[in-house]
A = this chain, B = another copy of it.
Amino acid sequence: MDFNLSDNGQAYLDRVKQFMRDEIFPVEDQVKQEMAALDDPWVELPVIRELKQKAKSQGLWNLFLPDNEHGCGLLNSDYALIAEEMGRSFIAPPIFNCNAPDTGNMEVLLYYGSEAQKQQWLTPLLNGEIRSAFCMTEPDVASSDATNMAATAEVDGDEVVLNGRKWWSTGIGHPDCKVIIFMGLTDPEAHKHQRHSMVVVPRDAPGVTVERMLPVFGSYDEPYGHGVVRFDNVRLPKSAIIKGPGRGFEIAQGRLGPGRVHHCMRAIGAAERTLSLMIDRATSREAFGRPIAKLGGNPDIIANARMSIEQARLLTLKCAWLLDTRGIMGALSEVAMIKAVVPQMLQTIVDNAIQIHGGGGVSDDDFPLTELYAYARVLRLADGPDEVHRATVAKLELKKHSR
């Protein structure tokens, strides 16, 4: 048994930590203020663009990709801890070109895209020249049940025609967003998992309209944002379908595992940041003659935070290691478990941190806790609600038992 990273992983982790310490944490406040001062916040700040160049020039770029050609040859279990580190700052992931949904979209294009699709979209994404969005969830149906998906991707001769409404299309608000991966129903008569297709859609294709952007606990998460996107008779050549009609679920599953690990490890980084804020506040203020950290049930809150973070991290690392050693089919339960465990863990810690901060905890301008709360709360729904993942875990458990 060995809980250490590989040497390669450790080296990259050290470098990312140093970059975070030297370059990213110091500009967090500046970024917040500059964003607040903008008339139009749907832009990328120069400070961010510069840091991207810096990270890229240092080779801290596309670390999420396990292959040596496009990435740095990191194992999932190595990159996991690097993703955690990036998760400590909201501004960090895009600086390393490691933010969702671009990471997942790049994986899809890399593993399932045609040469033409790679050339047109993957290359500039890998270079950080453009951004992308992913359109799956729909406003009009309970999307926790993916078979409810009603938007269509119908094949019509040499073309594919898209219709429907999607929402929570993260990244669609970014000025550099040039491409969308869309998932829709192609053949309602096919087997449940062969009905849907994934289609590469240029952001400026006729018929693609962003109806509105969604405010989440008061924030639009500019400049990325979450949009409601309408597809009205969007006509594309059939070659826009990734891997061909009906392969949507197959691709989605392949995209699944590492993406979950990334999400969860970033959330664990956020939890560490939150715990750190909690302790800062709890040790720097006094009430009833003692530091708040020693008052009543507060030591329990701190201990519980530490214990739940440690456990969630180990579960996610084990999941990453299973992906490394057995692939997605050997990690199905773990991939569901981490998604059910980690966001809830983060939400609980943020809630406790708010309470320990007192009034300051609920003020957006004084601490990042309301932002962290919103992040955690959304994560319990994004990519399937907790309930769906627990149901998967239970189903696999019963299946295992029945053998």
CB pair B365 A212 closer than 8 Å:
yes
* Chain B residues within an 8 Å CB radius of A276: 401
CB pair B144 A363 closer than 8 Å:
no
CB pair A145 B385 closer than 8 Å:
no
Counting chain B CB atoms within 10 Å of each CB, the highest count among A145, A354, A392 belongs to A145
- Name the contact of A139 in the complex, choosing from B318, B360, B386, B394 (C-beta under 8 A): B360
CB pair B4 A393 closer than 8 Å:
no
Interface residue stretch chosen among A63-71, A110-118, A289-297: A289-297
Q: Is A55 an interface residue (CB 8 A)?
A: no
CB pair A377 B354 closer than 8 Å:
yes
A148 to B286, CA, bound (A): 9
CB pair A390 B359 closer than 8 Å:
no
Q: Is A120 an interface residue (CB 8 A)?
A: no
Q: Is A321 an interface residue (CB 8 A)?
A: yes
A16 to B216, CA, bound (A): 33
CB pair B303 A214 closer than 8 Å:
no
* Chain B residues within an 8 Å CB radius of A219: 218
Q: Is A240 an interface residue (CB 8 A)?
A: no
CB pair B314 A315 closer than 8 Å:
yes
- Name the contact of A386 in the complex, choosing from B1, B141, B215, B355 (C-beta under 8 A): B355
Given A1-B75, A297-B296, residue A364 in contact with residue B216 (CB < 8 A): yes
Given A287-B145, A296-B299, A397-B279, residue A390 in contact with residue B304 (CB < 8 A): yes
Closest B-chain residue to A302, C-beta based? B394
* Chain B residues within an 8 Å CB radius of A395: 299
Interface residue stretch chosen among A27-35, A229-237, A333-341: A333-341
Q: How far is the CB of A66 from chain B (nearest CB, A)?
A: 14
* Chain B residues within an 8 Å CB radius of A355: 380-381, 385-387
CB pair B1 A302 closer than 8 Å:
no
A363 to B320, CA, bound (A): 32
Q: Which residues in window 23-61 of A have CB below 8 A to B?
A: none
**Interface majority SS on A: helix, strand, loop or mixed?**
helix
Closest B-chain residue to A146, C-beta based? B287
Given A216-B370, A380-B355, A381-B355, residue A306 in contact with residue B391 (CB < 8 A): no
Given A359-B139, A359-B143, residue A337 in contact with residue B306 (CB < 8 A): yes
* Chain B residues within an 8 Å CB radius of A382: 359
Q: Is A134 an interface residue (CB 8 A)?
A: no
* Chain B residues within an 8 Å CB radius of A77: 1
CB pair B2 A397 closer than 8 Å:
no
Q: Is A261 an interface residue (CB 8 A)?
A: no
A321 to B364, CA, bound (A): 39
Closest B-chain residue to A392, C-beta based? B303
User: Contact string, A337-351, partner B, CB cutoff 8 A, digits 1/0?
Assistant: 100110000000000
Given A2-B1, A394-B299, A398-B302, residue A285 in contact with residue B141 (CB < 8 A): yes
- Name the contact of A167 in the complex, choosing from B299, B311, B359, B373 (C-beta under 8 A): B359
* Chain B residues within an 8 Å CB radius of A320: 1
Closest B-chain residue to A137, C-beta based? B359
CB pair A381 B358 closer than 8 Å:
yes
> Could you jot down 15 A-B contacts, CB within 8 Å?
A1-B6, A141-B285, A167-B359, A218-B370, A283-B398, A296-B296, A297-B300, A302-B393, A302-B394, A307-B340, A310-B315, A310-B334, A314-B315, A314-B318, A355-B386
Besides the known contacts A1-B317, A145-B288, A362-B377, 5 further A-B residue pairs in the complex with CB atoms under 8 A apart: A142-B292, A148-B287, A303-B394, A304-B390, A307-B341
Q: Which 7 A-B pairs have the closest CB atoms?
A: A218-B218, A297-B297, A311-B311, A299-B394, A145-B287, A314-B314, A303-B393
